[in-house]
Structure formats: C-alpha cells, structure tokens
Chains A and B, each alone.
Chain A
C-alpha cells in the first residue's frame, strides 16, 4: 500500500498548483490578445470580417474545450507538429478564451451608447481614435467584472490539461493518489487549493460589479 500523506506530497501538489497558475496566466494573456482581435473583427465595419469572426466564435463556443485540446495536441502531433503539453494546453485555452472574451468585450463595446460614436465622428475623430479614446475606456469599466469572472473559468478549465500529461494541480493530485489511494484526502486537498485560487477572484469580480452599479446609480 501507499503509505501516508507527507509534506513532500503537499509540496508536489503546490508545485502543480503553481503550474495551474502559470498555464492560466499564459492562456489568459494569449487569449486576451486574441480575444481583443476577435472583438475588433466582430465590431468591424467590413461585413466579411464580422462574418468570419462570427463563425469562429460559434465554432469554438460550440466545441468542448477537451476536443480543442485533443485537436491541438494529438491532431497536430499526427501531422508532425509536436507541441510540449504546456504549449498545447496554452494554445487550446487561448483559442477557447479568445472566443469567449471576444464576445464578452464585443457586448461591452456595444453597450456604450451609439451617440458617443456620433459625437466623436462630428469632432472629426477617426474610427480608431474614437475606439481608443472614447469607447474602450468606457467599455473597460463595464468589462472588468465579467472578464475577471471568466478568468475563474479559465483557471478551472486548466485541469483539462491533465489529460495530455501536463502536471498541473489536477494531474499532480492524480499522481499522488496513484501512490496513496486516498482519493478523498488528495482530491479534497486539490479542491481546496483550486478554491483558494478562484474564490478571491470571484470575490473581486463581484465587488467590481457592485462598484460599477454604484457608479451607475450616481451618474444617473
């Protein structure tokens, strides 16, 4: 039998947790950049760009993340492109995040009244100047709570990377459990560690949302 849970096991889990954070940060950073691009295309004046990005978003949102991961890791492997597990997971999560963040941010951009675009247009500002100086600062305010909320989703979704052998928190827990056979204890601890990562973010997201509502009420 496996023996008992020791500090070394805990350290191993904490290392996995660190990789969960690294993968989340990578996915979020890459997904944020790509998602910004998706948002720009979804709100573009050119119809073709809007259509392409629409199909992309529908496709990704309608596909389980696990399938995206399999395509990137195993699919690319078959055609000779072997990505290390971290990169494969990072790319998959980037694709996944870009679709969702792109849609969240598109909604926020469209929530800024059209009259702000019109007023800017009448002042001879270009579309890009209007976006950067007038629309995005207002959209960002609305976007912060759902964006932070989505970060929690990304954080939890990184557990899927365990299936391609990337040793993040979930995979680390599996490894420890395979030697100890104490699933309640080991996965319980993993659950607590996930909670410790996600709960502060959820709290932050909710407090941002409350602040936003207060701001709105004052402005009205």
Chain B
C-alpha cells in the first residue's frame, strides 16, 4: 500500500518555542491513525501541518502527492484532497445545513445549483441527519452540529480526513453519536488521522496509534499497544488519564 501522508523529520516552532522536534510518520491509504498525547504535546500542530494550516521550518511533508514543504504547493488542490473537522465545529452560522454543505462544492467544484440539494442529502445521510437539511446550526445540538461539519467535509470527497478532538467540546452523552459516524467512515475505507482523547475509540477503531510527547512521536503501534505500553511516559499517560 502506498502512503497518502508522509511526514519526515518535521520541525515546527512558534517564535522561539520548538513545538515539533523532528516528527516522522506515514499513513497508508485506508488507514485510520489515532494521535494521542498530553495537552501541549503538539498533536494539533502536527495535524494542522498536514493541510498546511501551519507552515513548517524544516523536514519533508507529502500529502496525496502534494509536496507541502514546497512554497509553490497548490493549496487549493491540497485542500480538496484533505478534509478537516475541528473541535469547535466551525459551521457557518448564517447558512442552513444545506448551504453549509454545498457552499464549497458550488464555489470550488462548480457544482450546479440544481444538484446541490442531492449532494447535501447524500452527505447528510452518511451522518444520519437528512431531516435537518433546512435547519440552521444554532437549532442543532453540539453532536448534530459536529455531524453536519463531518458531512460538509465529506461533500468535498476528500482522500484524507483530519479530525482534531472533534468530541472534546461535547457533553458525554453526545460524543457517542459522533464517534459512531467516524467509525462508519473508518469501516468504509476512509483514510483518517484522528487526534483524540477517546482511548476506547483509539483502541477499537484505529489501525495504528501514535503517542506524541514533548513534540516527538514517542511510541507508535497498533491499538493494542495501549494495553501494553513500552515507554514509562505512555504508561503514565494512560494511567493518569489526560
């Protein structure tokens, strides 16, 4: 299998603070990778480098054939291949669910207006929210908003999807519905990079877990590694929770 995402020796600093200190990993097509680690260990930063929301200082980074460390990278082509879902949903509050989902396909992929509704419906069915197509974001629960955000990203037919603690802002009883949607996506063959604090999800759904610590990939392995940590830091992280 070919790697869709390749990070090699990535260094990233904010000002004088080095946040990523030589991060390397590869993600194959169809693979689901969970990134775990303490707050401040650089998980979000690593994820945001993958679709170039952050620029790196050194290292090589290739995503879906786009060389992201290259200044001349076609960002719009990259963003069509890489979807992203945020902790805070970031839906467009002035647009309906349908408009939220179809805005980018209409503007970027020149989807005809008459086909827009069908696309919105299809995407919403994948997250089980077809009946909310005409609602506004503020009329939805947090879990529903996050599922719409996933549908919005799916509608662009990305090759890779990035998730940054997408359930962290949700009440515990609402995280389940979002995790189930993500699990279905994973089973459907989507390539996913998931930053999460949900250890059970990481274990059950991820093909591989990456434990980040102090800006480095500290330990990596299949979901089972969480039951048998090699490094004291991972052991400590698992037993002390977040």
Query: Which residues of A are interface residues toward B (Cβ below 8 A)?
Result: 115-116, 118-126, 129, 133-134, 137-138, 141, 218-219
Contacts and interface: CB of A to CB of B under 8 A. Distances in A.
Interface string B63-104: 000000000000011011011101010111110000000011
Interface in B89-147: 90-94, 103-104, 107-108, 138
Contacts of B79: 121-124
Given A115-B86, A118-B53, A119-B86, A126 B93 contact: no
Contacts of A134: 92, 103
Contacts, number: 55
A123 B92 CA distance: 12
B107 A133 contact: yes
A104 B152 CA distance: 32
A141 B92 CA distance: 14
B103 A122 contact: no
B83 A122 contact: yes
B160 to A, nearest CB: 12
B32 interface: no
B113 to A, nearest CB: 14
Contacts of B152: 123
B150 interface: no
B92 A116 contact: yes
Interface residues of B, number: 24
B156 interface: yes
Nearest to B155: A123
Nearest 4 interchain pairs by C-beta:
A123-B104, A119-B90, A124-B79, A122-B84
28 contacts: A115-B88, A115-B90, A116-B92, A119-B86, A119-B90, A119-B92, A122-B51, A122-B53, A122-B82, A122-B83, A122-B84, A123-B152, A123-B153, A124-B76, A124-B77, A124-B80, A124-B108, A124-B156, A125-B104, A125-B107, A126-B76, A133-B103, A133-B107, A134-B103, A138-B92, A141-B94, A218-B138, A219-B93
A124 B80 CA distance: 6
Nearest to B156: A123
B80 A125 contact: no
B91 to A, nearest CB: 8
A181 B108 CA distance: 68
A116 B88 CA distance: 10
B108 A138 contact: no
Nearest to B88: A115
Contacts of A119: 86, 90-92
A1 B51 CA distance: 82
A137 B82 CA distance: 26
A141 B94 CA distance: 10
Contact of B103 (A125, A126, A218): A125
A155 B138 CA distance: 38
A137 B53 contact: no
A122 B50 CA distance: 11
Nearest to A220: B138
